[in-house]
Structure 1
Amino acid sequence: MRIDKFLWCVRYFKTRSLAAEAIKKGHVSVNSQTAKASRDVFPSDKIVLRKDQINYEMVVLDLPPNRVGAKLVDMYIKDTTPQEAFDHLELLKLAKQHYRAKGQGRPTKKDRRDIEDYVEDIDTDDETTEKQA
């Protein structure tokens, strides 16, 4: 079975053309070799797939006859992706939520409250140092 069809069948991509595009960009390797879309996949092959900033690692157990349901995917692949990859993705999501680029408009209500709390903390620190002096 072709690698692009396999990745579509085991639901790593929504369409086969998206799978072929990722392979063409070099995001997929089979047995440590960059793959082409027409490369055949066999049981016991090791596939590394870069998607959404995660390197998914999987071992082919069997070839599906066609696209399978999400509950049946585990019959055809064994996912060996380390947990640290998913933790790193969660950290990236949190960092993106916190950061807002300069010039992105006015502060939100939450930003304004955070700024006011910060300024109040500085003012109270200054008053305590003046009283101690």
Structure 2
Amino acid sequence: MAETEPLASVRADVWLWAARFFKTRSLAKQAIDGGKVDLNDAGCKPSKAVHVGDRLQIGRGEERFEVVVLALSEQRGPASVAQALYRETEESLAAREAARAQRKLGAAGLLRPPTRPDKQARRQIMKFKDEQS
């Protein structure tokens, strides 16, 4: 199939899928319907047209991305190609790094045992939990 003229716009759910923010177009659509995606500081619908230069705020789990659309694609390609479709803002990178550091600090106090508990230890844990209830 010959290369045609560049795309003027792409559906929001298709672009999010092609840019690899979501594994399937259906998940991208669910995220948009759930209010996890904003386009140019306004709400978004799955069929909303995305253009070059648009600003997207994407929430995915605990991560929050703010990206500027650099290119459009309707096909999902390798990660290197997908990363060329957008540029993440400096504020977004800094906020995600700060959140990552905060989560790391929060888990620092959690000491995990070196091995799984054996049968005797499991019984002690169950007895302790029953006494607490």
Q: TM-score, normalised by structure 1?
A: 0.68
> CA RMSD, aligned part only?
2.3
Distance verdict in 2 for CA 1:25–1:46, change over 3 Å: same
Could you list the per-position Cα deviations for residues 60-105 of structure 1 after superposition, in whole angstroms to 9, with x for gaps in the alignment? 11111411211112332111123232231242145246448xxxxx
Q: Which runs of 5+ in 1 are unaligned?
A: 101-106, 111-133
**Change in CA separation of 1:52 and 1:98 when aligned onto 2, cut-off 3 Å:** farther
Give the structure 1 partner of residue 50 of structure 2.
Answer: 41
AA partner of residue 67 (structure 2): M
Q: Tell me the distance in 1 between the aligned counterparts of 2:67 and 2:47.
A: 19
Offset at residue 46 of structure 1 (A) = 0.2
For residues 106-121 of structure 1, what are the structure 2 equivalents within 5 Å?
108=113
- d(CA) in 2 for partners of 1:4, 1:94: 35
Displacement of 1:108: 3.9
Q: Which runs of 5+ in 2 are unaligned?
A: 1-9, 116-133
TM-score, normalised with respect to structure 2: 0.68
The match for 1:53 among 38, 45, 62 is 62
Q: Which 4+ runs in 1 deviate beyond 3 A?
A: 96-100, 107-110
Distance across 2 between alignment mates of 1:79 and 1:8: 16
> Which residue of 1 is the match for residue 79 of structure 2?
70
Q: Secondary structure at the match of 1:36?
A: coil
**Correspondent of 2:40 among 20, 23, 31:** 31
Between Structure 1 and Structure 2, which shows a larger proportion of helix residues?
Answer: 1
Instruction: Report the counterpart of residue 79 of structure 1 in structure 2.
Output: 88
Q: CA deviation at 1:35?
A: 0.6
